[in-house]
Amino acid sequence: MNEMRVHPLKFFSLWKWIDGRPLLDVIEPYRANIFERALFSFDETGRPKYNLVVSGRAKKNWKTADLIFAAKYKLFAGDSPGGNQCYILANDEDQAGDDLELAKKFIAANPDLAAEVIVKQKIIERRDGKGFLEILPAGDVIGSHGKTYCFAGFDEIHGYKNWDIFEALALDPSRPDSMQWVTSYASIYHRPGVPLFDLTSNGKKNLDARMFFSWYAADYTTDAALAEASPEDRANPSRSSWGDDGYLEQQRTRLPSHKFRRLHLNLPGSPEGSAFNAERVMEAVDRGVKARLPVEGIEYTGFVDMSGGSNDDACLAIAHQEGIDPLLGRAVLDCVMNQGPTPPFNPLDAVGRFAEVLRQYHCSTVTGDRYAGETFRAAFEACHIRYVISELTKSQIYEAVEARLNSLNIVLLDQSKLESEFLGLVWRGGRIDHPSGEHDDWANAAAGALNCTLTPVETCELCLSQYGEVRPLHRGGCDHSDDLKCCSGCHAL
C-alpha cells in the first residue's frame, strides 16, 4: 500500500497555529492521543484500522479545529493512490464560511504550507494537482452520490435528522485509506434512526470494529482519566485552555437549561416543545422485544391509524392490560405494524392484512379515527371486524398516555420507528402532534391501543338482564343486533 505513513504528531510539529504558537503547544495531550490512535493505527495487513471517527465534546472544545487538522493531514501527509480529495461538510452556508475561513487562516500562518497550495474562494488545491480541500454546506451534497474521496469530515451533525448525507458520501470500498470524521455535541433529535443517536449507541456498545469512538459528556466518557471528574469537566476536556474559569457558570445563567445541557454538557435534548419526556419513553421500551405472540386468556385491544395510501403509513397496534385495576395496571404493547409495502399502496389491502392479525389476537373489534368517513368502517366489517370510532382526538390520546408513561405504567416494543416517533412528538398550537414534515403513524396507533387498554371497562346492562350476571363490556362496545351475544365475557362477535 502506498497511502500515508507520516505520524500525525510529526506532521503537526511542522506547523504553527494561527496565533503563531507551535501547533503541538495548542494540541492538548488528550487530543494528541485521539489523532495518534485514529490516524495512525493499522491492522495486521497494514490497512488503516479505522475508517470512521466519531468525536463528541461540548461546545468550545476544539472539535472543528481538530476536524480541519485531520483534513490537512489527509491532504498533505502523503499521496493517496486514488487522490487526496478532502471534503468538510458544514451545517449551512454560514458555518461552511467559518470553517473555510479557519482553514485559510491556518494556511496563511504557515508560509511553507501556503507555497504548496492555491487558495481559491471555496477550495484549497494542492499545486501538484493531486488533491484539494473543499468545504461545503451539507445541503449541497445530497445530489453528489458516487464521489470518491480520501477524507470526508462532517462538522456538527447534531442537526441531522436522517442518513441522507452519509448515503450521498458513502465510503469507497476500493480505497482502504478513505476516512470519515464526524464531530458534534449532542442532538435534540435523540432517537433511533438519527445518525448521531445511532453512531453513539454503536460506539458505546463497541459494535463497529472500524469506528474510532471518542466521547466526552457529563454522563459518559470514553476517556478513563476523566471518568471520576465533575460532569462539567467530563464534557469539557479543553476547559483549562479557555482562560475563563467563570465561562460555564455564565452560560448556565444565560441559557435555558435544556440548551445549556446540550451545548455545554453534551447531553441530548428534546425538540423544542417536546411532548414526552425522552428518558421515560426510552425506559418504557422492552429492549430486544419486537412483538409478543397472542396468549390464550388475555383480552387484547386493537387500534388503527389508517391512511389514504399516498404518503403516510397505515398502522395497526395491539395491546393488553396487566393487572385487574385499569387505574393501576400496566398497558403492554404486543404488536405494532404497518401495511407492508411502502407508499403508495392500496389501503384496502392494509385492511385485509390488519384484520388477519386482529383475529390472531382474538380481537373482533378495532378502534380508529373518523378518517375517510365510512370507507374503513365498511372495509373492516366486510372482514368481520367491527370498526369503532374513537371518542378521543389524537392529541387527547397522547395526553392520556403521557400520564401513564410518566408513572411507568407503559411497556413499549423495541421498534426503532415507533420509539423515534414517540420521541419526536411536540406541542403545536395547543395539541400534541408530529413536527412539520415528519410522521406519527406508528406512535398514533400504539398510543391508541395502549389508551384503550387502560380505559376502565363498563358493564353491559343487556348481558346483566339476559344472563343474570355482570359481564364486562368490550372496550369497543357491544352489538346485540341479529341476536349476537356481546364479546369479552360472553362470546366474541
Mark whether 301 and 177 lie in a shared domain.
Answer: no
Q: What is the pLDDT of residue 252?
A: 87
Instruction: Provide the β-strand partners of residue 112.
Output: none
Q: Which CATH number do you get for residue 447?
A: 3.30.420.240
Query: What is the rounded average pLDDT of the residues 416-421?
Result: 84
Q: What is the pLDDT of residue 185?
A: 93
Percent of residues, the chain, with pLDDT higher than 90: 63
Q: What is the pLDDT of residue 431?
A: 93
Query: What is the rounded average pLDDT of the residues 361-385?
Result: 89
> How many beta carbons lie within 10 A of that of residue 242, not counting itself?
13
Q: What is the pLDDT of residue 37?
A: 98
In a domain, 109, yes or no: yes
| SS3 label, residue 335 | strand
Q: Which three cell numbers stand for residue 384?
A: 368481520
The bridge status of strand 410-413 relative to strand 386-389 is: unpaired
Which segments of 22-151 does DSSP mark as H helices, in order? 23-26, 29-39, 63-76, 93-108, 111-114
Rounded to whole angstroms, the Cα distance separating 204 from 194 reads 16
Quickly state the pLDDT bin for 470 (edges 50, 70, 90).
very low
> How many beta carbons lie within 10 A of that of residue 18, not counting itself?
16
Eight-state DSSP code of residue 486:
P
Mark whether 353 and 245 lie in a shared domain.
Answer: no
Q: What is the pLDDT of residue 145?
A: 60
Q: Which CATH number do you get for residue 83?
A: 3.40.50.300
**Chain mean position to CA 484:** 48
Mark whether 176 and 284 lie in a shared domain.
Answer: no
Q: What is the pLDDT of residue 324?
A: 61
Q: What is the pLDDT of residue 189?
A: 80
Quickly state the pLDDT bin for 311 (edges 50, 70, 90).
confident
Asked if the model's pLDDT at residue 296 lies above 70, the reply is yes
pLDDT in tens, 182-237: 999 998 787 888 899 999 999 999 999 999 999 999 889 999 999 889 889 999 99
- For cell 385499569, the residue is 326
pLDDT in tens, 31-56: 999 999 999 999 999 999 999 999 99
Mark whether 181 and 292 lie in a shared domain.
Answer: no
In a domain, 480, yes or no: no
Mark whether 239 and 298 lie in a shared domain.
Answer: no
Asked if the model's pLDDT at residue 463 lies above 90, the reply is no
User: Any idea which of 2-6, 119-123, 134-138, 374-378 has the lowest mean pLDDT?
Assistant: 2-6
> What does the mean pLDDT of the chain come to?
87
Query: What is the rounded average pLDDT of the residues 425-441?
Result: 88
Which segments of 341-476 does DSSP mark as H helices, in order? 347-360, 375-382, 394-406, 416-424, 441-454, 461-467
Q: What is the pLDDT of residue 159?
A: 86
Asked if the model's pLDDT at residue 279 lies above 80, the reply is no
Residue ending a domain, choose from 422, 437, 454: 454
Is residue 178 within 8 A of residue 149, CB to CB? The reply is: yes
Asked if the model's pLDDT at residue 488 lies above 90, the reply is no
Structural domain harbouring 96: 8-264
Mark whether 34 and 155 lie in a shared domain.
Answer: yes
In a domain, 142, yes or no: yes
Q: Which three cell numbers stand for residue 53?
A: 471517527
Q: Single out the residue of 370, 276, 355, 361 nearest to residue 319, CA to CA.
A: 361
In a domain, 481, yes or no: no
Asked if the model's pLDDT at residue 467 lies above 50, the reply is no
In a domain, 2, yes or no: no
pTM above 0.75, yes or no: no
Higher-confidence position of 338 and 369? 338
Asked if the model's pLDDT at residue 367 lies above 70, the reply is yes
In a domain, 478, yes or no: no
Mark whether 174 and 246 lie in a shared domain.
Answer: yes
Residue ending a domain, choose from 264, 288, 319: 264
Q: Which three cell numbers stand for residue 1?
A: 500500500
Asked if the model's pLDDT at residue 125 lies above 90, the reply is yes
Query: What is the rounded average pLDDT of the residues 455-462?
Result: 54
Beta strands in 260-416 (DSSP E): 285-286, 300-305, 315-322, 330-338, 365-368, 386-389, 410-413
In a domain, 488, yes or no: no
Q: What is the pLDDT of residue 328?
A: 64
In a domain, 236, yes or no: yes
Asked if the model's pLDDT at residue 144 lies above 70, the reply is no
Query: What is the rounded average pLDDT of the residues 147-168?
Result: 91
Mark whether 232 and 305 lie in a shared domain.
Answer: no
Mark whether 230 and 347 lie in a shared domain.
Answer: no
**Domain tally for the chain?**
2
Mark whether 365 and 295 lie in a shared domain.
Answer: yes
Percent of residues, the chain, with pLDDT higher than 70: 87
Mark whether 251 and 303 lie in a shared domain.
Answer: no
Quickly state the pLDDT bin for 474 (edges 50, 70, 90).
very low
Mark whether 132 and 238 lie in a shared domain.
Answer: yes
Q: What is the pLDDT of residue 447?
A: 97
Instruction: Tell me the Cα Rg of the chain.
Output: 28
